[in-house]
Amino acid sequence: MKYNFDEIIPRRNTNCYKWDMSASDDVLPMWVADMDFQAPPAVITALIRRAQHGVFGYTKVPNTYYDAVINWSERRHRFIVQKDWILYTTGVVPAISAVIKALTTPGDKVIIQTPVYNCFFSSIRNNDCEIATNKLIYENGIYRIDFDDLEKKAADPKAKVLLLCSPHNPVGRVWTYDELSSIGEICLRNQVIVISDEIHCDLVYAGYRHIPFASISEPFRQNTVTCTAPSKTFNLAGLKVANIIAADEKIRRKIDKALNVNEVCEINAFAVEAVIAAYNEGEGWLNELLLYLNDNYQFLKTFVASQLPVIQVSPLEATYLVWMDFSALGKSSGIIADNLLERERLWLNKGTMYGENGEGFIRMNIACPQQFLVEGLTKLQAISNY
């Protein structure tokens, strides 16, 4: 490999949310979704060059920014985007919150498919909307969508938005063309707008393909708001940048107003340079990253099968977040996660963060040098003693 993902980059005492949230230096954090790898060299070079200029005033977003986003979308995902469709903001969560604000009024319902990314819940509640839960069906270790229930939830006149997680965090699914098409038809029939959170769209493994929801048909495109970012792909979360793609002009104007009302309509000078460099020059780095992450996942699966067969590991089609079923232990995911943190100094996410049907599950971030993964799995073995 050209890039060394085995290199240990010390992150403790760097004001790092992942590593410095614990007061103890002996905690191994494998929870929050950022990676322990350096960003692509092209991004680092671009940021150094920008810093050396030495003047950091208000920033104009140039055409080269839009070109980078548009070209990446077409090259990587076969999704043709027009410049006018793009609105930039400080992150996907602020984007989702602004879009919900734009498309709903207090008391409206937003449909989510649990277990799902925990910030979906707060974005809905903070906009004084109600949560309508379309629980995913879990059978034989695999998740699928309950379309009958989705039809019922979408038919509620109060349901205005479906908040889709694609690829799905935390269960690791890459939704198929047929699954996405069924979602889209249900939403069109019931006049429910789709907000598609596609932040993990680039982190898809061999044998699977991410299909941008808005790319399936023109009616879907006009009924969809897509949220993307380079943050998960290239480990740039701290630079605070994301893009909202909305083809429908009326919807886009509403979102633009909400972004300005919430004062999240500007991005910083370093974010602009990072996006351009990442999308224009980071593809080779990403391709090697995916190979490394897949190796980590295969290592984890083999380890768990031989050392902890009571745990069921969900298939990882996308993301670097492994979803594991601990329910055979007969203990709540909260108790398991708390014991691992307190006794083994291993910090994982309890499944109930992602909805009540996350009970019995634990989420583990494997985007780290394999040395950390081995250490984390060794600590995990201790659950057999509880």
Tell me which of 15-24, 68-77, 154-163, 358-367 is least confident: 15-24
Same domain, 234 and 103: yes
Structure confidence at residue 119 as a pLDDT band (50, 70, 90): very high
Structure confidence at residue 336 as a pLDDT band (50, 70, 90): very high
In a domain, 4, yes or no: no
383, pLDDT greater than 90: no
The mean per-residue pLDDT over the stretch 110-132 comes to 98
In a domain, 184, yes or no: yes
We report the CATH number of the domain holding residue 261 as 3.40.640.10
- End-to-end Cα distance, the chain: 40
Residue carrying structure tokens 């198929």: 176
The mean per-residue pLDDT over the stretch 123-132 comes to 98
Separation between Cα atoms, residue 199 and residue 233, nearest integer Å: 8
The mean per-residue pLDDT over the stretch 197-213 comes to 98
46, pLDDT greater than 90: yes
Phi, then psi, of 158 in degrees rounded to 5: -80, -15
Dihedral sign for Cα atoms in the order 125, 19, 37, 273: positive
Tokens for 25, please give them: 């230096």
Separation between Cα atoms, residue 222 and residue 280, nearest integer Å: 28
What is the predicted pLDDT for the residue at 385?
73
The 10s digit of each residue's pLDDT in 345-370 is 999 999 999 999 999 999 999 999 99
Same domain, 265 and 289: no
Average confidence score pLDDT of the chain = 97
Which amino acid is it at 130?
A: E
Structure confidence at residue 263 as a pLDDT band (50, 70, 90): confident
Residue where a domain terminates, one of 281, 312, 346: 281
User: If you ran DSSP here, which 8-state letter would residue 147 be given?
Assistant: H
Same domain, 221 and 211: yes
Structure confidence at residue 29 as a pLDDT band (50, 70, 90): very high
Same domain, 250 and 311: no
In a domain, 139, yes or no: yes
218, pLDDT greater than 90: yes
The number of folded domains in the chain is 2
The mean per-residue pLDDT over the stretch 137-165 comes to 97
322, pLDDT greater than 80: yes
384, pLDDT greater than 80: no
CB contact set of 251 (below 8 Å; sequence gap of 6+): 102, 103, 193, 225
Among residues 266, 244, 261, 263, the alpha carbon closest in space to that of 60 is found at: 266
Strands 193-197 and 224-228: parallel
Proportion of the chain above pLDDT 70, given as a percent? 100
Same domain, 371 and 337: yes
In a domain, 8, yes or no: no
The 10s digit of each residue's pLDDT in 132-148 is 999 999 999 999 999 99
The mean per-residue pLDDT over the stretch 275-304 comes to 98
Separation between Cα atoms, residue 145 and residue 154, nearest integer Å: 14
We report the CATH number of the domain holding residue 362 as 3.90.1150.10
What is the predicted pLDDT for the residue at 262?
81
Q: Are 376 and 308 in contact (CB under 8 A)?
A: no
User: If you ran DSSP here, which 8-state letter would residue 324 be given?
Assistant: E
Same domain, 36 and 160: no
Same domain, 311 and 275: no
Proportion of the chain above pLDDT 90, given as a percent? 97
The mean per-residue pLDDT over the stretch 230-250 comes to 98
Tokens for 386, please give them: 């509880």
Phi, then psi, of 166 in degrees rounded to 5: -145, 110
CA angle 137, 176, 184 (to 5 degrees): 85
Residue carrying structure tokens 């057999």: 384
Residue where a domain terminates, one of 258, 281, 304: 281
The mean per-residue pLDDT over the stretch 179-203 comes to 98
Same domain, 70 and 124: yes
Alpha helix positions (H), 142-282: 147-155, 177-189, 218-222, 231-234, 249-261, 269-281
The 10s digit of each residue's pLDDT in 52-103 is 999 999 999 999 999 999 999 999 999 999 999 999 999 999 999 999 999 9
Same domain, 107 and 207: yes
Same domain, 118 and 78: yes
The mean per-residue pLDDT over the stretch 246-274 comes to 95
In a domain, 11, yes or no: no
What's the 3-state SS for 4-32?
CCCCCCCCCCCCCHHHHCCCCCCCEECCC
Tokens for 63, please give them: 């055409």
Structure confidence at residue 128 as a pLDDT band (50, 70, 90): very high
**Domain enclosing residue 244, as ranges:** 56-281
Same domain, 367 and 350: yes
* SS3 assignment, position 121: helix
Separation between Cα atoms, residue 359 and residue 215, nearest integer Å: 34
In a domain, 360, yes or no: yes
Strands 142-144 and 224-228: unpaired
Residue where a domain terminates, one of 281, 301, 336: 281
CB contact set of 378 (below 8 Å; sequence gap of 6+): none
Among residues 227, 290, 233, the alpha carbon closest in space to that of 255 is found at: 227
Tokens for 39, please give them: 């960003």
Q: Are 27 and 376 in contact (CB under 8 A)?
A: no
